Amino acid sequence: MSSGGSGGSSNGGSSSSAGASGSVAAGGSNEFVSTLINAPARLRGDVGIDQSSGDDVTFLVRTSLEFGSKRGPWDGCTRNQLGDCWYYDCPAGSNALGSNNVPPVYYDAGSVTITSGSNTLAGGYDTSSGMYTGRASQQLWPLAGGTVTFTVSGSSVVPAFTMQIQAPPVVRLLSVNGEAAPTSLTRSQGATVVWNAKGPGSVFFALAQYSGTRPAAICVFDATANQGTLPAAVLEKIDPGTKYYLEFRGDARAEVMAGDFDISGTAYSYGFDLNRASSAIELK
């Protein structure tokens, strides 16, 4: 996810992403497990929100919701997983990061209300983009955690539904391979990230770009571990280049069915300025 977007699952998801099929183990625990992602076009909804703060005082909340007929993220790609981390092989025609080879058809879902405790956000459908987006300079959920609730009133196409997501942990990235803000990484050295966290849950770490057949290396760690490593064996599988970005966040997800719509919900937490969350980095 770049600093210009929010929510959604197009940037990698968890290792249990919906639509995975054909898992083939290459061998023991130190070898890759390969899984073909099968998520063809169908009625889907992406419901997302993120909250960021660099000082626990000033906050920015961004929302992004869309409902339509579209392919799932990484459809047609193969996920190759080693422990907590994986990379994708995405041939031509797959729905890789940044691709739009089959443009979705969007639908109005009525009004949307997002609440956490006594805090509330509301939004309406944008007919020009087909999406619900918003920004607010406020704190929605407490740093100690809580629940985020999406209430969608529904329309003639999209059924009404309510979805709850546990608030993600607040995580602050301290270093990558011992550097506070690296501008480059050597793939053969892997990438060890160190952070501090408030609350339990998952940490999402990725190095990704918007092109190529192997566009991303991704890890999901236990937030309470305060450290995790993207192995060289994974990082060396993606191509060198100067246009990668580093993504690091607290990450929480949920799924519900609303009639024929498969709804995926995400809540992200950034414990630092979003420009740093999506900084450019070179892979050597």
Reported as a single tens digit per residue, the pLDDT across 90-115 is 998 898 876 666 667 899 999 999 99
Q: Where are the domains of the chain?
A: 20-283
Furthest C-alpha separation in the chain: 54
Q: What is the mean pLDDT of residues 34-57?
A: 93
Confidence of residue 122 (pLDDT cuts 50, 70, 90): confident
Q: What is the mean pLDDT of residues 257-284?
A: 82
Which of 154, 83, 163, 52 lies closest to 115 in space, CA to CA?
Answer: 163
Task: Give the model's pLDDT for residue 215.
Answer: 84
Q: Is the pLDDT of residue 273 over 60?
A: no
Please tell me which of 4-13, 49-58, 79-88, 242-251 the model is most confident about, judged by mean pLDDT: 79-88
Q: Is the pLDDT of residue 130 over 50?
A: yes
Task: Give the model's pLDDT for residue 16.
Answer: 41
> In terms of DSSP bridges, do strands 241-258 and 280-283 run parallel, antiparallel, or are they unpaired?
antiparallel
pLDDT tens per residue across span 201-220: 999 999 988 777 888 999 99
> Is 51:59 a contact under the CB 8 Å cutoff?
yes
Residue 182 CA to chain centroid, in angstroms? Answer: 22
Q: Is the pLDDT of residue 15 over 50?
A: no
Q: Is the pLDDT of residue 2 over 50?
A: no
Residues sharing a CB contact under 8 Å with residue 25, sequence separation 6 or more, in sequence order: 31, 33
Q: Is the pLDDT of residue 276 over 80?
A: no
Q: Report percent pLDDT > 90 for the chain.
A: 59
17 vs 266, more confident: 266
Confidence of residue 226 (pLDDT cuts 50, 70, 90): very high
Task: Give the model's pLDDT for residue 99.
Answer: 67
Q: Is the pLDDT of residue 176 over 50?
A: yes
pLDDT tens per residue across span 228-238: 999 999 999 99
12 vs 192, more confident: 192
Q: What is the mean pLDDT of residues 269-275?
A: 69
> What phi, psi does 146 have (nearest 5°)?
150, -160
Q: If you average pLDDT over every residue of the chain, what do you get?
A: 85
Mean pLDDT is lowest, of 77-86, 129-138, 207-216, 218-227, for 207-216
Task: Give the model's pLDDT for residue 224.
Answer: 94
